[in-house]
Amino acid sequence: MNCYKDFWQLTAEALDFALAVTPGSNLDCRQILLDAYLSLECYSEVPIVLKKLARKRVYDSNTFKWIAKNAFISR
């Protein structure tokens, strides 16, 4: 079956789909939008909650690992 896709790949594919089905989309904005995703501000409690979940090992998800690694680079 081997159909695993990581969080970032799914995010990019979802953006590609949205751009394809939205009339008048500027396809040149794809990379700009993906880059902007990495600099989104999160709610102030999110880093604290993620750290608590990581310590308790509540998660078992590649999505969580990706978010924990990448979501707070600019913080």
Kindly report, residue by residue over 37-59, the tens digit of the pLDDT: 888 888 888 778 877 777 776 66
Q: Rounded to two decimals, what is the model's pTM? A: 0.62
Q: Report if residue 60 sits inside a domain.
A: yes
* Structure confidence at residue 73 (pLDDT): 45
Rounded Cα distance between 37 and 31, Å, is 10
Q: Report if residue 18 sits inside a domain.
A: no
Provide the residue range defining the domain that includes 64. Answer: 41-75
Q: Report if residue 22 sits inside a domain.
A: no
Q: Report if residue 59 sits inside a domain.
A: yes
Amino acid at 51: K
> What are the Cα distances from residue 1, in Å, to 4, 5, 13, 60?
9, 12, 19, 20
Share of the chain above pLDDT 90, in %: 29
Q: Report if residue 46 sits inside a domain.
A: yes
What is the number of structural domains in the chain? 1
pLDDT at 68 over 80: no
Per-residue pLDDT tens digits for 13-42? 999 999 999 999 999 999 999 999 888 888
